[in-house]
Chain A
Amino acid sequence: QSALTQPPSASGSPGQSVTISCTGTSSDVGGYNYVSWFQQPPGKAPKLMIYEVSKRPSGVPDRFSGSKSGNTASLTVSGLQAEDEADYYCSSYAGNNNLVFGGGTKLTVL
C-alpha cells in the first residue's frame, strides 16, 4: 500500500497548460483503469475532477483532462485560471478493495 508518486509542486501562467504526473506500479495505476484526480483548495474538502483515467464528472470544465501510459497517469489543466490554484491528488484502485493516493501536487498560478 505505497503511495503514488507526484511532484510536490507545479506552476504556470494564466492561459498556459500544465501537466501533473502520478506514477505507480503495475499493481495499481498500470493494472487498472481506475485512476482519479481530486482538487483541494486550502481548507476545503477534495473535489473529484477526473475518474476512470479520463472521464470528467458533470460540471468539471473541459480544461481538465486525464490520461495514462503504463504505470504513469497524468492530469493536464489547459488555459490555466487563477481559480485552478489548489492541491491536486491522484488516486488509483490497487486491488483487494484497496485505494492508494498520491502525495499531492501544489499547483501555483503565477
Chain B
Amino acid sequence: EVQLVESGGGLVQPGGSLRLSCTASGFTFSNYWMKWVRQAPGKGLEWVANIKEDGSEKYYVDSVKGRFTISRDNAKNSLSLQMDSLRVDDTAVYYCARGKYSCAYWGQGTLVTVSS
C-alpha cells in the first residue's frame, strides 16, 4: 500500500524558516517524480514544487522561487521542502504527492501557519 506521511508543520513568524518532510513507503520511491501541493485555509489547491526521480531537476511556482527548496533522499525514501523567508500568505496545509503530470497519491498533509 502506498503511503506518504508529512511532518514538520507548525507555527512560525513572518520571515522565519521551516523544513517539511515526507516519508514514503509501499512503492519504489526513486522511480517517481514527487511534488508539494498546498491548500490555504478554505481555498483551493496550488502546486508548489516538483522534483525529478534522481533530484537533478526541480521546478517551482513563481511565488516561492528563491524562498523554497525541494529535495529528496532516495536512500531514505524521503522528500523535503525547505521554506525560508516565510510570509503570511504561505499559511496552508502542505501535501506531498507522487507523480509528474498528476498526483496519483497524496499524504494527509501538514499545517504551516505563518503569523506574528
Contact = CB atoms under 8 A, between A and B. Distances in A.
B105 interface: yes
Nearest to A34: B101
Contacts, number: 63
B104 A48 contact: yes
Nearest to B50: A97
A100 B44 CA distance: 11
Interface in B60-116: 61-62, 95, 100-109
Contacts of A32: 101
Given A38-B103, A104-B45, A1 B61 contact: yes
Contacts of A7: none
A45 B108 contact: yes
B44 A103 contact: yes
Interface in B26-66: 35, 37, 44-47, 50, 57, 59, 61-62
A91 interface: yes
Contacts of B103: 36, 38, 46, 48, 91
A57 interface: yes
Contact of B45 (A38, A47, A93, A97): A38
Interface in A40-66: 45-48, 51-52, 57
Nearest to B95: A45
A103 B61 CA distance: 16
A98 B106 CA distance: 18
A18 interface: no
B101 to A, nearest CB: 4
Interface of B: 35, 37, 44-47, 50, 57, 59, 61-62, 95, 100-109
User: Shortest 4 CB-CB distances between A and B: which pairs?
Assistant: A36-B102, A34-B101, A99-B47, A97-B59
